Structure 1
Amino acid sequence: MPRPPARHRATALALALLAVTGACTRPEEKDPGISAKPSGPVAERPLAAGVDYRESVHRGPAGPVRVFVLRIAPDAEARLVGAHGANMALPQTVRQAARRAGALAAVNGSYFDIKGGKAYSGYPGDPVGLYVENGRVLSEARDDGAALLLGHRDGRLWARITEVATPGLITAADGETRRLDGVDRVAGRLRPCRGTDHDRLAAEGRVWRRDPDTGLCEDPDEIVEFTPDWGVATPSGRGGVEAVLDGDGTVSRLRSPAGGPVPKGGRVLYGIGEGADWLREHARPGTAPDVSIPLTDSSGEDLTDLVDTAVGGGRRLLSGGRVVLSERDRAATDRPPRTLAGVTADGSVLLVTVDGRDPGASEGATLAESAGLLASLGAVDGLNLDGGGSTTMVVGGELRNRPREAVGDPVGERKVATVLALLPR
C-alpha cells in the first residue's frame, strides 16, 4: 500500500499531538475557578470617597459562591487600621470590634489561639503571628510569614504584602544583649513553628520540642514582653521571673514567681529558663533596659517607620501578579469560607470574604480559587487571612455575610482576636 504524501503525514502527526496536548489541559479546563463576572444581580454601596463595597454571587466549580468585596483606594477619605477588643487576651466578634472602633466596615484579621484548639494556651484573644496596631508590635511574626502591611503618609494609604520578621532585642544597662522571643503570649509556647524557629533554636544549641499532633513547639528558654494591651494579669509561673518596667522604662522590681499586672504605660519582661536567669543578672531594679522590635522584610529592609498596622496571614496567594502556591496547596480541594487581602497595581487594598459551608447557596473556595478570584478583582499581591468560622464582613454595623462553624450550623458570629477596620477620616 503506498504511503501518504509527506504533508499528509505531517498533518496527521500534528493532529495527534494536538489531541494529546488537549487531553493534558482538560483537567484544568474542567476547573476554571470562580467566574470573574457575577452570575446575578450586584449590590453596591459607597461608604466614603474612594471606598466601594460590593456583594455578588459567582459561578464556582462546586456551585454558587457569595463574594463580598471592600475596595479602598490610596486616596480614600477613610483610614484602614487594625483593632482588637478591650484587651489582647480576650476575643470579641467583628461586629463588636467595629462598633467599639466606630468603623464604617470591618473584616476579621489574624489567626488566633482559638478556644478548644489542640494547642490552646488559655487566652483566646491571643493572635498567632504578626499583629501591629498604631505602630506597636503586639504579636511577633512567626517563621518570617507573609503579612498585610498598612501605613498612612501625607493623607494616602500605603499597602504592601510581604514576608516579615520581628527580630526583637533587649539591651541591658550593662551592655549585654538578648533576643526578645515574643510579645503578649505565653512564654515557651510557639505556634505555628515550621522551619525557621527550629533552625534558629538548633543553631543556638537550644532544646526544641514539637508536638506532631498539635503543631505546638516548646522553647524552655524565652523572654516575652507583655504590654498594657494584654489587659489581664500575666500568666502565673513558679519558675518564671518578671522584670516590671515603669512608664519611663525603668525596672521597678523583679517579680517571682511570675504572674501579675502590667503597669499602666509600662511593660513586663517575662523570662523562663535561661531567659529568667538573664533577667536576674542583667535587668536589675533601677536600670533601664532598651527593648526594640523592628519590622524587616526578607531583604532585611527596615519597615518599622512605614507600618502603622500589620496583620499576619496564612498562605501567600499572589506575588507580582503570579500565583505562588505550592503544588500541594494548588491541589487542595477543601472549600471553607475565606477572608482574603489583596493589593492592586495602583495601591488599592481589597478586603474580600467568601461564604462557604452553605450547600447550594455558597460553596466556599479552595486556595487556588481564592488566588484566581483576587487576580480577577485586580490584585497583584494577595494573602489568605483567617477563615472558616472566623470569616466575617460587617458594613454599617450590619453583618453582611453568613458565617458558620460547620455545614448545617446556624449563622453565628465567632469571637476573634483582631479585625481590619475602616474608619472615617
Structure 2
Amino acid sequence: MVLRRTKQKGNGTGRGKKWAIISLAGILWIGPVMGTGGFAPLNWTGGSVASAASAVKLGEEILTSGAILMKYRYSTSSGTALADVVRVDLNNPYVKLDVMTGKGGQFTTRQSTEGMAKETGAVAGVNGDYFNTSREGAPIGGQVSDGELMSTPSDLSGMYAFAVTKDGTPMVEQFTFEGTVTAEDGSSFGLAGINKAAYTPETAGGSYSHSNAAYIYTSAWKALERPANSSTTPTEVLVENGVITQISENAALPIAVPENGYILRTHGKAADFVKQHLAVGQSITTDYKLRVKSTGKEIDPSTLQMMIGGHTILVNEGKASSFSRSVSSIGGTRARTAIGYSKDNRYAYLIAVEKNGSSVGMSLNELQSFMTSIGVWKGMNLDGGGSTTMVTRDLGNTEADLTFNTEYGTEQRSIVNGVGVYSEAPQGTLKGFTVSGSKTLLIGQTGSYTLKGYDTYYNPYNIGKTSVTWSSSNPAIISANGSTVKGVKPGTATLTAKSGSAKATMKVTVLGADSISSLTAGSGTGSLGKGTTISIPVTAKTTDGQSVSISADALKWEFIGFKGSVKGNELTVSSVDSGAEVGYAIGRYDGFSAVVTLTADGGSSMWEDFENVGYDVSFTTNAQGVTGSAAITAGSGEKAGSKVLQLDYDMTGGAGKMYAYAQLNGTSGKTIQSPATGISMDVLGDKSLNWLRAEISDADGKTVYVDLAKAIDWNGWKSLSADLSGLNIAYPAKLKRLYVVNVEEGQDERAKTGTVGFDNISLNAPGTVSSKALKTGTAQMSIGSKSMNVNGNKTVIDAAPITRDGSTYVPIKYILDVFGGQAQWNASAQRVTVIRGGVLMDLTVGDKKFVLNGKRKSADVAPLVLGGRTLVPLRLVSEQLGLTVKWEQKTKTVTIQS
C-alpha cells in the first residue's frame, strides 16, 4: 500500500487538504495499567455509577441536516454543570464525521479547534486526542481520515479510539497496528508505526519507541525532524511513487516529505535491513492493517471513514465502565470532552462539559453518569481541561464559532487534532431565516437587525436582495421601522421578519430597573473642577448575568455640588458650587442609579509608580526548583522612559502548585494607609495562562488574596482592576506580594517560564473621598422620643424613632445633619436617596431591595412612611454609611458613633 495525500470534499464549504491521524498525549500515558482489568473509577464501588441527578435538557438547535446541538444542565457534587452535546445521525447521507488536524491538515503545527473548523468548513467540532505538550505536536493515538491511516496507535495499554466505518457503523475499541515494508528482493521488515512522536512503549519492551524500529513519515508530518528527541540516530529512505530515490545512512534527510511519497525512518536492526536490502532506484511496497485488540478482528483502514484516539473507556453497554488505565493525571473537577454512540449505532455524540463562570465542570465519574443518562451506549474520554472546546455554526452563518467559554475564557488552546462535523448536502432551496441583533434594549435605545438565510438542508443560503417585512408583536414595548427597532417601555415582545413563507422571530426584552443588578459609570470617580471632562461609559449588568453597554447620555443625570452636562460617554463639569468639597453625578435609568463621585483628587490616588522606590524588591517562591528574579527595571515599548517592577520566573524544575512572588519590602510589605475599595494597575502579560494575584496583610493580621487575572491570556501591557470592597480588609493594611501561580491541575496547559511586569498601582477609595466634609461624634436617640442628644447637647427632632418587628427606624435627615451627608426625597417614586462620603443609597418605601453605589442589594427590612415622615432602618443605613450603632435594651436607647 502506498501512502498518499488525499483531498476531502464537502458541499462547497471550502474544506482543504486533510490528513486523518491517530494520537494520544504524553503526560497522560506515563502510568501503567493495573493487570488486565484496568483501573477502577475514582471512588469506584463496583457496578454502574449511581446518580440521584439526571440530565435536564435546556434546549436544542439544528446545525445542519443530521446534526443537532443539545444543551444540558446536570447537578454534581460541586454544583451545577452545563454540557453541550452535538448529536450526529450516522444514517443521514448528508452529514459525516471526520478528523481535523493542525494547520493545513498537518501534524507538528497545532491550531485551535475553531481555527481547524474554519479552515476545513466544519459545521461543528470538538477538540480531539491527547498529545505530549513537550513534543513537536502529534497525536499519540491512531487517526484515520477517508480511509487514509495518518497516524498509528502507540504501544500504550488501555488507550481507546473512536471510529466510524464508511457504511456508518461506529466503534469504540482498543486498536493495534501491524505493518511491513517489502524490498524489491522480497525481503521484509516490520513497521512500528506511522507519523509518531517519540514516546516510551509499554508492552514491547525498551525505553525508546524508535530504537531498532522502522517508521513511515508522510507529508502530513510538517517538521523536518522525524521525530524530535528520539534518542536514536536515523537512517532515512526517501520513497517517491513507490521507488527509492534517496538513502541517507546515519543521518536524517534534510528535506520535508514530498506529497507523492514518504520517508522510511529506520534505526538499529531496521537500519541494517536498509543497508542489506534497499538501494536507490529499486521499488518498495508497504502493507499494514489495524486490529481490534479485544476480538483480534483485522480492520483495513480504507474501510474506515474516520478514527481518532482518546484515553480511557468511560461507558460500555450503557453503563459506567471501570477505567482502562490510570486516570490520576486527569482527575479532579474540570471541563471534559468525550465521544460515544447509541445502542442502535445510529447516533454519535460529541460531548463537551463546560467549566467557566456558569458551570462547575465534572469529575470523570460524573461524566460517566451524564453520558449514560443521555443515551450513550459506548463512549470514551477525549482530551479535557483547558483543551476542552466546542465550536458550532448557527443557522444561516457560514462558519463555526465558540459555543461556550473555555476554562480560560475565550482563549483556545492550540491542539493537534479534533473531531469535525461536515455537511455533504447539495444546495437546497430557501427554508427560513435567522435574526441577528441585540436581544436586550434600553428604553429609548435603537438597534439594527439583520437576517441570514438557510436552505432545506439547514445550510447557509444567500438571501441577496430578498424583500423582508419587519413587525413587532407589541409596539408599546418595541417599535419596528424596517430592521431598526426601538425600545419603548420595559417588557418583552417578539420581533418578526417575513418574506413569503419564510419567517424568523426573536424575543426582544426592553430592560427596566427590575432587570438590572448593577449600573456602573466609568471608574465611578473623577476630579471636581471647573471644565473637567470625565469618561463615564455606562455598563448595566442584568439579573441573568448579561453585560449591556449603555451610552451615558441615555440616562437622566442629577448633579449635586456642581453643575454639569453629559454628552455621549463624557461628563463635563461646568461649575462647582461654592463650598462644595465633593460632587455627585447620579445617572438614573428607570429609577435605577449609577453614581460618579468627584473630589479634588479624583477619588483615586497613585500608590506606587516604581519611579523612586525606597524599599527592597525581591524574588521568593514556595516550591523547591522554582527560580526567578524580581527587580525594578527600565520599561520597554509603551513603558519606555519609565520604571516598572519586573518578575521573571522559571518553574520547570518545580512540582505541584507553584508560586513565583515579587516581594515588596522584604516580608513586611508596603503600607496601604487608608481604606480602599479598589486597586488598579498596568500589567505586562506573557500569555502563560497562569493565575495572577496580590497578597495583602491587614491590620488584624489576616491575609487577603486578590485575584488580578484568573488567566494571563494576553501579551503586552494591559490595565487591570480588582474590587476590594467585599474583602473585609482592616486598615492600615500592607501589600506584600504580587505573584504568578501555576496550579497543579492541568499544569501541562500553562507555561512554566515567563515574564510579567507591573506599573502604576492606584487605589480607589470612593467611600472616604469626602472625609473633610464628614463629622465625628456621638448621637443618642430613644424610642418614642422627639429629642436627640448630640455630643452631650440635647436637640429637638420632629419625628421619633420607632421599633417594628425588631428593627429600629429613624428619620435619616437628623443622622446626616450630625455626621455629614444629605438625603433627597422623590415623592412620585417613593424613593429616598442617602449620600455620605462616597456612598450613595437609593431606598424605596416598602421595598427590601436597595441600590448601593449602583449595585442592587437585599435587606431584611424596608423603609416606611409614618405620620407623613419617611423612616429608614437605622442599622442598615448607618452601617453602610460607615457609622456604628449600639442598642441599649433597658433604656430603649440607640447610640450612633463616627
Normalised by the shorter chain, which TM-score bucket?
A: 0.7 to 0.9
- Post-superposition Cα deviations, 1:60-88, rounded to whole Å, max 9, x if no partner, equal 11111110000011223211111212121
Aligned to 1:140: 152
The answer as to whether partners of 2:312 and 2:324 remain within 8 angstroms in 1 is no
**Partner SS, residue 98 of structure 2:** strand
Q: Which runs of 5+ in 2 are unaligned?
A: 1-42, 394-399, 425-898
**Which one is further off, 61-70 or 235-244?**
235-244
State the SS of the aligned residue for 1:221.
coil
Judged with a 3 Å threshold, the aligned counterparts in structure 2 of structure 1 residues 329 and 371 are, in CA distance, closer, same or farther, namely: farther
Return the offset for 1:218.
Answer: 4.8
Distance 2:152 2:409 in 1: 35
Q: Give the Cα separation in 2 of the matches to 1:61 and 1:330.
A: 19
- Whether 1:255 aligns to 2:248 is yes
Residue 333 of structure 1: how far off its partner (Å): 5.6
2:337 to 336, 339, 355: 339
Q: Which residue of 1 aligns with 2:624?
A: none
Paired position in structure 2 for 1:35: 53
In structure 1, how many angstroms separate the alpha carbons of the residues matched to 2:324 and 2:276? 49
Alpha-carbon offset, residue 164 of structure 1: 0.8
Structure number with higher helix proportion: 1
Q: For residue 387 of structure 1, what is the amino acid of its counterpart?
A: G
The equivalent of 1:412 in structure 2 is 411
Structure 2 counterpart of 1:149: 163
- Partner Cα distance (1:379, 1:80) in 2: 17
Q: How far does residue 168 in structure 1 lie from its aligned partner after superposition?
A: 1.9
Residues 34, 420 of structure 1: alpha-carbon distance in 2 compared, 3 angstrom cutoff: farther
Give per-residue Cα distances to partners, 1:212-255, cap 9 Å, x unaligned: xxxxx5552221111011134244899321110002x1111202
Deviation, 1:288, is 2.0
| Residues 386, 53 of structure 1: alpha-carbon distance in 2 compared, 3 angstrom cutoff | same
Correspondence for 2:405:
402
Q: Could you tell me how far apart the structure 1 residues matched to 2:257 and 2:190 are?
A: 21
- 1:254/1:280 contact within 8 Å kept: no
Structure 2 contact 65–423 (Cα < 8 Å) conserved: no
Q: Quick one: distance in 2 between partners of 1:255 and 1:219?
A: 17
Shift of 1:326: 4.0
One-letter amino acid of the structure 2 residue matched with residue 141 of structure 1: P
Aligned-partner Cα distance in 1 for 2:263–2:149:
14
Structure 1 residue aligned with 2:270: 275
Aligned partners of 2:209, 2:67: CA distance in 1, in Å? 44
Hey, what's the Cα distance between the residues in 1 that align with 2:148 and 2:99? 11
One-letter code of the match for 2:402? L
2:377 is paired with a residue whose SS is strand
Distance 2:86 2:125 in 1: 9
In 2, are the aligned partners of 1:167 and 1:180 still within 8 Å (CA)? Answer: yes
Structure with higher RCO (Cα < 8 A, 6+ apart): 1
C-alpha separation in 1, matches of 2:304 and 2:169: 9
Paired letter, 1:399: L
Shift of 1:129: 1.3
**Aligned with 1:375: secondary structure?**
helix
Alignment correspondent of 1:21: none
Q: Indicate yes or no: 2:373 matched with 1:376.
A: yes
Q: Is the 8 A contact 2:55 2:72 kept in 1?
A: no
Q: Is 1:59 matched with 2:59?
A: no
Query: What secondary structure does 1:281 align onto?
Result: helix
Aligned counterparts of 1:227 and 1:328: Cα–Cα separation in 2: 30
**Structure 2 residue 261 is the aligned partner of structure 1 residue 266:** yes
Relative distance call for 1:58 and 1:327 in structure 2 (3 A) is: same
Letter in 1 for 2:265: Y
Counterpart among 216, 219, 225 of residue 228 in structure 1: 219
Q: Displacement, 1:296?
A: 1.2
The DSSP-based 3-state class of the residue aligned with 1:229 is: coil
For residues 293-341 of structure 1, give each alpha carbon's deviation from its aligned partner in whole angstroms, at most 9, with x where no partner exists: 2111122212224312111110011222232224996999612211100
Q: 1:330·1:368 contact (CA, 8 Å) conserved in 2?
A: no
- Partner SS, residue 291 of structure 1: strand
Task: Give runs of aligned pairs for residues 197-236 of structure 1, distance below 5 A.
Answer: 200-201=204-205, 208-209=206-207, 217-235=208-226
Query: Which residues of 2 match residues 22-421 of structure 1 at below 5 A?
Result: 33=51, 35-38=53-56, 42-76=58-92, 77-84=94-101, 85-86=103-104, 87-114=106-133, 120-121=134-135, 123-124=136-137, 126-142=138-154, 143=156, 145-153=159-167, 157-186=168-197, 189-191=198-200, 193-194=201-202, 196=203, 200-201=204-205, 208-209=206-207, 217-235=208-226, 239-247=233-241, 249-256=242-249, 257-259=251-253, 260-298=255-293, 299-304=295-300, 305-326=302-323, 334-347=332-345, 348-356=347-355, 358=356, 361-396=358-393, 397-404=400-407, 409-421=408-420
Which residue type is aligned with residue 178 of structure 2?
A: P
Equivalents in 2 of 1:47, 1:69: separation in Å?
Answer: 12
Counterpart code for 2:152:
E
Distance, in Å, in 2 between the alignment partners of 1:165 and 1:252 is 31
Match of 2:487 in 1: none
Cα distance in 1 for partners of 2:193, 2:75 equals: 43
Aligned partner of 2:296: which letter? Answer: G
Give the structure 1 partner of residue 492 of structure 2.
none
Report the Cα offset of residue 410 of structure 1. 4.0
Query: Is 2:313–2:324's contact at 8 Å kept on the other side of the alignment?
Result: no
Q: 1:269 offset after TM fit, Å?
A: 0.2
Q: Deviations over 1:144-195 (max 9, x none)?
A: 6311011232xxx221111111112212222222221121134xx225x33x
CA contact (8 A) 1:110 1:131 kept: no
**Alpha-carbon distance in structure 2 between the residues aligned to 1:176 and 1:266:** 21
Q: How many residues align?
A: 359
Give, in angstroms, the shift of residue 386 of structure 1: 1.0
Partner of 1:14: none
- CA distance in 2 between counterparts of 1:263 and 1:280 reads 23
- Partner residue, 1:422: 421
The residue matched to 1:166 in structure 2 has which SS? strand
Unaligned runs of 5+ in 1: 1-24, 115-119, 202-207, 210-216
The one-letter code matched in structure 2 to 1:146 is Y
C-alpha distance in 1 between matches for 2:331 and 2:194: 35
Q: TM-score, normalised by structure 2?
A: 0.38
Post-superposition Cα deviations, 1:110-140, rounded to whole Å, max 9, x if no partner, equal 11232xxxxx23x12x111111122122211
State the structure with more CA Rg. 2
CA contact (8 A) 2:175 2:292 kept: yes
TM-score, normalization: structure 1? 0.78
Tell me which protein shows more strand as a share of its residues: 2
Deviation at 1:374, TM superposition (A): 1.0
